[in-house]
């Protein structure tokens, strides 16, 4: 906990006296303590949502398998995606994720695997989800996760099971409301100091003002931290090209990016900026299998199949 009492000047002094290996470990420790005190706090993934301030609880595409499983219920085609984030341009803070969603007659299944960190410290999430849509206005999703934390230098690794529950509703044309709970049982990671995986509640909405503009807002509450407000906007500049921007608080981040919708292939590039730690670029690829209907006007996610 000593890291909490260090100011920037002290940090620079310590870093200047450390070897490169110790610098990496120090930065990682500072990051974990500052932004992820409990660890395994369900890092956001997906370059599209990252560009929109990670206001993703009401969006529905293949990354709903991670953000809000209910969104899977509105998909029509098998989809798969990969994502990479180079957090603060430090590879030891890299975040990687792969996802696949498979709609079936009874609903939709999702599988998402994420990894954060490097050989001396890493966190992994293995998530299996299922969602069921009730008509075109309501979908409910659940997920079972296996979360692991590994620390080198003889500390070993630990794994724990956690659950997720989400819901999405479309009460009005163009409006989607989403709610999601991560780890409602407050699962315990280790007995020492009663360390538990955080419980996180998210509520948000997005609205399509037209075929070109989508606005998303969200509030996230980790039960042991201050609330995080997120907001993002997406603008369809020209056919198949999207511009995005967003903000979030605690910590204060600004984000931006763009997306290319090339029928079955979706390419998303984004970055967010922290005024002290710097920039974090993100990159994502999404592929929709089968024929994608482009004959109808879309007012939703460029990574979402037309209903």
Give tens-digit pLDDT for 277-288: 999 999 999 999
Mean pLDDT check: name the lowest of 89-93, 140-144, 179-183, 265-269. Answer: 89-93
Q: What is the pLDDT of residue 20?
A: 52
Q: How far is CA 190 from CA 2, 115, 158, 159, 195, in A?
A: 21, 20, 8, 9, 5
CA 243, 214, 60, 73 dihedral sign is negative
Domain at 81, CATH number: 2.40.160.60
Question: In this predicted structure, what is the pLDDT of residue 287?
Answer: 97
pLDDT single digits (tens) 217-231: 999 999 888 999 999
Residue 47 lies in a domain: yes
Contact of 89 with 209, CB cutoff 8 Å: no
Count of domains forming the chain: 1
**168 contacts 60 by C-beta, under 8 angstroms:** yes
Question: 8 in a domain, yes or no?
Answer: no
Residue 5 is predicted with a pLDDT of 31
Over residues 236-247, the pLDDT tens digits come to: 999 899 999 999
Average pLDDT over residues 60-80: 96
Dist. CA 150–CA 116, nearest whole Å: 10
Q: Is 299 part of a structural domain of the chain?
A: no
Average pLDDT value over all residues in the chain: 85
Is residue 49 situated within a structural domain? Answer: yes
Task: Please name the helix (run of DSSP H) or strand (run of DSSP E) that holds residue 67, with its range, or none.
Answer: helix 64-67
For the cut 90, the answer to whether the pLDDT of residue 69 exceeds it is yes
Alpha helices in 187-260, H assignment, sequence order: none
Residue 104: the pLDDT is 96
pLDDT of residue 16: 44
pLDDT of residue 108: 97
Q: What is the pTM of this model?
A: 0.83
Token pair for residue 258?
Answer: 């763009």
**pLDDT category, 293, cuts 50, 70, 90?**
low
Is residue 7 assigned to a domain? no
In a domain, 98, yes or no: yes
Whether 6 maps to a domain, the answer reads: no
Q: Would you place residue 196 in the very low, low, confident or very high pLDDT band (cuts 50, 70, 90)? A: confident
Note down the domain range covering 255: 36-288
How confident is residue 15, by pLDDT bands cut at 50, 70 and 90? very low
32-46 per-position pLDDT tens digit: 544 444 456 789 999
The answer, yes or no, to whether residue 127 has pLDDT greater than 90, is: yes
pLDDT at 237: 93
Q: How confident is the model at residue 119 (pLDDT cuts 50, 70, 90)?
A: confident
Q: What percent of the chain has pLDDT over 90?
A: 69
* Residue 26 resides in a domain: no
The pLDDT score that the predictor gives to residue 278 is: 94
């Amino acid at each position: 906990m000593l890291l909490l009492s260090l100011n920037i000047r002290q940090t620079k002094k310590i870093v200047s006296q450390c070897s490169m290996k110790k610098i990496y470990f120090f930065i990682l420790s500072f990051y974990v303590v500052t932004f992820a005190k409990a660890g395994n706090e369900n890092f956001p993934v997906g370059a599209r949502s990252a560009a929109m301030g990670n206001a993703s609880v009401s969006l529905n595409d293949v990354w709903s398998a991670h953000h809000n499983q209910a969104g899977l219920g509105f998909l029509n085609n098998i989809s798969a995606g990969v994502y990479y984030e180079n957090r603060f341009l430090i590879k030891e803070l890299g975040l990687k994720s792969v996802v696949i969603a498979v709609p079936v007659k009874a609903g939709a299944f999702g599988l998402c695997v994420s990894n954060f960190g490097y050989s001396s410290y890493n966190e992994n999430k293995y998530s299996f989800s299922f969602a069921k849509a009730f008509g075109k206005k309501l979908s409910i999703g659940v997920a079972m996760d296996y979360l692991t934390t590994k620390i080198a230098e003889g500390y070993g690794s630990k794994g724990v099971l956690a659950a997720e529950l989400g819901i999405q509703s479309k009460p009005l044309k163009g409006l989607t409301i989403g709610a999601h709970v991560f780890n409602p049982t407050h699962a315990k990671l280790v007995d020492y100091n009663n360390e538990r995986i955080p419980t996180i509640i998210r509520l948000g909405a997005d609205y399509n003002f037209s075929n070109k503009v989508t606005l998303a807002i969200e509030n996230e509450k980790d039960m042991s931290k201050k609330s995080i407000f997120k907001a993002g906007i997406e603008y369809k500049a020209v056919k198949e090209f999207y511009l995005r921007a967003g903000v979030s608080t605690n910590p204060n981040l600004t984000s931006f990016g763009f997306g290319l919708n090339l029928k079955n292939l979706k390419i998303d590039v984004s970055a967010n900026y922290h005024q002290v730690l710097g920039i974090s670029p993100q990159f994502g690829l999404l592929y929709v299998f089968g024929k994608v209907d482009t004959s109808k006007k879309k007012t939703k996610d460029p990574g979402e199949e037309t209903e």
